[in-house]
Amino acid sequence: MSLHLHRSNHTRLLRRTAADRCKYCGTPIEWFERYDTLRIPLSPEFPSQPIPQNMQWHLFKGVAYPGKDPLTGYCRIPHPVICPAVEHSGLPDQLQDVVVRLAARMRGRIDRGEFIPYVEPVIEEQVATPDPEQVKEQRHVISYYGTLRLAPCEVHELQCISTNTRTGERCENGVFDIDEGKWEEVDVPHAPGRQGQQILTLTGGRMWAWVINDFNCLRRWWKQQCVDHFGSGAPDHVTFEMIQFQPLIHDQYILTEQPEGYERTPAGQDIVIHDGPTGESTVCAAPGCWHSTMSTQPAGWLCWTCASLEKRRARTHRKWLRAPDAPPD
């Protein structure tokens, strides 16, 4: 048997491959493609009246959109909102009743041995420096064509890790150069599990990062060296402090608003406009011509146009004055 997608369908996700069960509670769910190309697990349809507006989703040609269905008035609910494996607060009474019923089914399946809840593996917390006390409370993410690294501090405070050969201490210069990057919105890396789904829901799948698009500049940033020590061969005083960004571990550093205070100097602000030369100009001697030059010229100077015209007139005059048997010029 072969399956075909209808020509008016906006998604390539087959229903038989989208049907699944929640690995945390065992409730049947259906995955749908969202309007922004992400995916979302949705419940069956409910009347939209008791459902808060921010929890309402509907389908149009196989794609999930926020809000209720304008034709039927029904809506679907994202499964994480009513999953009994998660503690919920502030739900309407109708939804709270749904959670209680799903929890009863979950406990029954567990007691009968039909279902084992999935437990997220514990990931050891990472820090970005050998000395955890040096990690700042506010940390920024640096991006290069999708590769994300987390700095131990704000991007403008990033310090060179090379050794100052004169003092033997760590270099006090900064790595930051405002002309080598800019703040842009980038995609949040995919994170599996419920926590990853919650991160996508809260951020919309986008985050602000300091983006560097020039490879030569990136090499210096990736070595965490200042301009003076880049390529100098100076030894590192401390371990490289930027680590790979992982949304499940570093979700507290995800920025949903652009940081302020990183504006560049407007182009043209430092341009100096000169008043021009102060010497006297020499005007073309031809009648009616106002061409001039600032270079020193003898009396009777002709501009290039008038000089060419004068030569042509002279040749024509000599032609008419030449004897009939005279050789041509």
Per-residue pLDDT of 93-102, as tens digits, reads 888 888 999 9
The CA–CA distances, whole Å, from 250 to 56, 133, 151, 253 equal 29, 17, 11, 6
Q: Is pLDDT larger for residue 150 or for residue 135?
A: 150
The CA–CA distances, whole Å, from 309 to 285, 288, 297 equal 13, 13, 19
Nearest CA to 172 out of 182, 163, 184 is that of: 163
Cβ neighbours for 147, distance < 8 A, ≥ 6 positions apart:
none
**Tell me, what's the pLDDT at 314?**
80
Rounded mean pLDDT of 224-251?
85
Q: Is pLDDT larger for residue 241 or for residue 265?
A: 241
**Tell me, what's the pLDDT at 293?**
77
pLDDT at 76 over 50: yes
**Tell me, what's the pLDDT at 277?**
56
**Tell me, what's the pLDDT at 31?**
87
How far does the chain reach from its first CA to its final CA, in angstroms? 95
Residue 74 confidence class, pLDDT cut points 50, 70, 90 = very high
Q: Delimit the domains of the chain by residue range.
A: 15-111, 134-253, 282-319
| Structural contact between residues 150 and 244, judged by C-beta atoms closer than 8 angstroms | yes
As given in the structure block, the two tokens for residue 250 are 């570093």
| Structural contact between residues 42 and 32, judged by C-beta atoms closer than 8 angstroms | yes
Average pLDDT, whole number, for the chain?
79
- Whose tokens are 């769910």? That residue is 29
**Tell me, what's the pLDDT at 267?**
52
pLDDT at 203 over 80: yes
Rounded mean pLDDT of 82-96?
83
**Tell me, what's the pLDDT at 210?**
92
**Tell me, what's the pLDDT at 128?**
40
Length of the chain as a residue count: 329
Q: Is pLDDT larger for residue 193 or for residue 9?
A: 193
Rounded mean pLDDT of 168-181?
88
Within 79-177, strands assigned E span 141-144, 147-150
Q: Is pLDDT larger for residue 9 or for residue 168?
A: 168
User: Among the listed ranges 52-56, 94-98, 116-120, 262-266, which one has the minimum average pLDDT value?
Assistant: 262-266
Rounded mean pLDDT of 52-62?
87
**Tell me, what's the pLDDT at 275?**
57
**Tell me, what's the pLDDT at 1?**
46
pLDDT tens column, 276-293: 555 677 888 888 787 777
**Tell me, what's the pLDDT at 208?**
92
**Tell me, what's the pLDDT at 125?**
41
User: Among the listed ranges 2-6, 59-63, 184-188, which one has the minimum average pLDDT value?
Assistant: 2-6
Q: What are phi and psi of 46, to 5 degrees?
A: -130, 155
Dihedral of the alpha carbons of 183, 185, 189, 193, in degrees to the nearest 10 = 130
**Tell me, what's the pLDDT at 167?**
86
pLDDT at 209 over 90: yes
The CA–CA distances, whole Å, from 329 to 309, 310, 314, 315 equal 18, 17, 12, 9
